[in-house]
Amino acid sequence: MLRDMATPPTTTLLILGAGGDLTHRLLLPGLASLLAVEPERVVRVVGADRVDISAADWKARVKDSFAAAKPAARVTSAITRHTAYVRTDLLDEAALRALVGGCGDGPLVIFFALPPQVTMKVCALLQHVALPDTTRLALEKPFGTDHQSAVDFNTLLHKVVAEEDIFRIDHFLGVATVFNLVGLRFANRLLAPVWSAEHIERVEIVYDEDLALEGRAGYYDGAGALKDMLQSHLLQVLALFAMESIAALDARELQDQKAQVLRATRVWGGSPKRSSRRARYTAGTIGRRKVPDYVQEEGVDPKRCTETLAEVTLEVANSRWAGVPFVLRSGKALGTPRKQIVAHFRDVPHLPTGFVGGSDGDLLTIDLKPGAVSLTLTMNAEGDPIDLEQKTLTATLAAPRMQPYGEVLAQILDGSQLLTVRGDAAEECWRVMAPVIKAWADGRVPLEEYAAGSDGLTP
Ligand SMILES: O=C1O[C@H](COP(=O)(O)O)[C@@H](O)[C@H](O)[C@H]1O
C-alpha cells in the first residue's frame, strides 16, 4: 500500500504507537523543531498503530504537531504530503512484515513509542522480519522493567540489529543545558582541577515539577517518580557530571566514560532505608490551580503505592568521587519548580582571622530550565572591606535551538550515538536503583505524603 505513495524521501521514520500521546505531544513536534532548523533534511513519516485513524485525520494530526515549531511552510507541506498512517496489529508477524516491507528499501528508523512490554514483543517478532540494510531502532524509556528484563531485552535486540543501530532514548540528553555540562566541565581551566571529592562536598541533581499527573495515569501510575525520572534521566545527568574527561566529542568516548561512572555508582552507605525517600501528593493548590489527591486522579489505582516524589542519595565509588553524596530528587505537583544541578564546594581550610561573615562554601548552580549557570562566591560586596557575604554571578543561557526530541532525532537520523543510552549503561541504571526498588516494594521505606503546591516535605 505504501509503495503507491509519492517518491519516498531518504529516510523513513516509522512510528509504532503513532496514535499515542508521546507521538503527538513530543515526537512530531520535536521533528518539526529539527526541520525548522535544518530544513534540508528529507524524512518521510509513517505512523502505525492499532487504532483507526483516517488518512485525512492523520495528516491533520501531523500538521497540528508541526504548527508550534513553525518550520518553513514547504517543509510542513512536504511532510504532510508524503506521510501515511497504517492501522495494523503490531503483534502480528505477518502484519509487521507487511508494514516494514511497505516502507521500502531505503534507510529506516523504527521508533517505538510503545509501553516497554509491547516494545519487547514487537522486537521479538522483528527477529523474523527482513529489514532494510540501514535499519535503526529507537526505543523510548523505560528500557525494560527491571535489571533482568533490560539484560534480556539487550540480548533480544542484538539479534535484530547491531548495538550501533540501537538508540535508547533519553530526551534529557537532548536538553541543551544538560549537554552543556560537557562543554562547561572540559573547556574551563578553572573548573577541571576542582571537580572532585577534594573540593566538592555534595552534589544535588533536582527536577521538581509543578506539573501533576496531567492525565498520564496509564503510564505513570505503574512507574512512579523513581523509574520515571531518577532511574533514567537523572542518572544520565549524574553520569555527565561525574565522568572522566573525553579526548574528543565522540559518541564512543562519551558512552565509555558514562558507562564507567554508572558502574561505580551505588546507593549511599548501601542502605536504601537511610538513603531514599518516597512520598505522594495529596490535594492542594498550585498557584490558582486546584490539584486533587493523587489517588483521586483519573485512572489511578489507589491500591498501588505509587510515589510522586523520589529522593535517592548515591555514591560514585571511585577515586575521584568517593565520599561525595549525590542527591537525586524529582517530584510532581510541587509549589516551586526547581530543575537544577548544584555542586556544593567545601569551605576553605582556613579563613584568615579578622574577617567578618561567612566562609560558606561556594556553589556552582546549573539551572536546566530556563538555562543559566551561576557561581556563588564569598566576597566583600559592600560596606566595611572585612565584611564578607555570598554573591551570585549568573550567566543566562540562550533558549535552545530546538526541542530535546529534535536534537535526539537529528543524531539518530545521522546514525550517531552521541545522545543515546548504550546497552550496558541502560542495564547499570537498573542495577543502581534495584536495591531501592526492592526496599520500597518490601515496604521498608514508608510512603510519606505532601500537599500539592508545597515543598514536598509538608504533609
Ligand atoms: O520523561 C519525562 O520527563 C518529563 C520532564 O521533562 P521535561 O523535558 O518535560 O521537563 C516528566 O514530566 C515526565 O513525567 C517524564 O516521563
Task: Tell me how far apart the alpha carbons of residues 393 and 415 are, in angstroms, rounded to a whole number.
Answer: 39
Q: Which residues pair with 316 in a beta bridge?
A: 265
Quickly state the pLDDT bin for 4 (edges 50, 70, 90): very low
Three cell numbers at 317? 565509588
CA 220, chain centre distance (Å): 15
Give yes or no for residue 209 CB within 6 A of ligand 1.
yes
Distance 30 CA to ligand 1 centre (A): 14
pLDDT above 50: residue 73? yes
Ligand 1 pocket test: pick from 25, 141, 229, 419 the residue with the most ligand atoms within 8 Å of its Cβ. 229
CATH 3.40.50.720 residue ranges in the chain? Answer: 11-140
Residue ID of nearest Cα to ligand 1 atom 4: 229
pLDDT above 90: residue 1? no
Query: Which fold would CATH assign to domain 174-398+422-451?
Result: Dihydrodipicolinate Reductase; domain 2 (3.30.360)
Distance 40 CA to ligand 1 centre (A): 29
Farthest-apart Cα atoms in the chain, separation: 83
Quickly state the pLDDT bin for 9 (edges 50, 70, 90): low
Contact partners, residue 221, CB within 8 Å, separation at least 6: 299, 300, 301, 304, 306
Look at residue 344 in the predicted model and tell me its pLDDT.
98
CATH 3.30.360.10 residue ranges in the chain? Answer: 174-398+422-451
Distance 233 CA to ligand 1 centre (A): 9
Look at residue 8 in the predicted model and tell me its pLDDT.
45
Three cell numbers at 382? 559592600
Class for the domain spanning 11-140: alpha beta
Reported as a single tens digit per residue, the pLDDT across 415-457 is 999 999 999 999 999 999 999 999 999 999 999 999 999 999 8
ipTM above 0.95, yes or no: yes
Reported as a single tens digit per residue, the pLDDT across 123-170 is 999 999 999 999 999 999 999 999 999 999 999 999 999 999 999 999
301-337 burial: b if 16+ Cβ within 10 Å, else e: eeeeebbbbbbbbbbbeeebbeebbbbbbbbbbbbee
Task: Tell me how far apart the alpha carbons of residues 125 and 116 are, in angstroms, rounded to a whole number.
Answer: 14
Hey, is 92 helix, strand or coil?
Answer: coil
Contact partners, residue 439, CB within 8 Å, separation at least 6: 272, 273, 276, 445
Task: Tell me how far apart the alpha carbons of residues 447 and 436 are, in angstroms, rounded to a whole number.
Answer: 13
Residue from 389, 369, 371 nearest 381 by CA: 389
24 included as an active-site residue: no
Quickly state the pLDDT bin for 268 (edges 50, 70, 90): very high
Look at residue 168 in the predicted model and tell me its pLDDT.
98
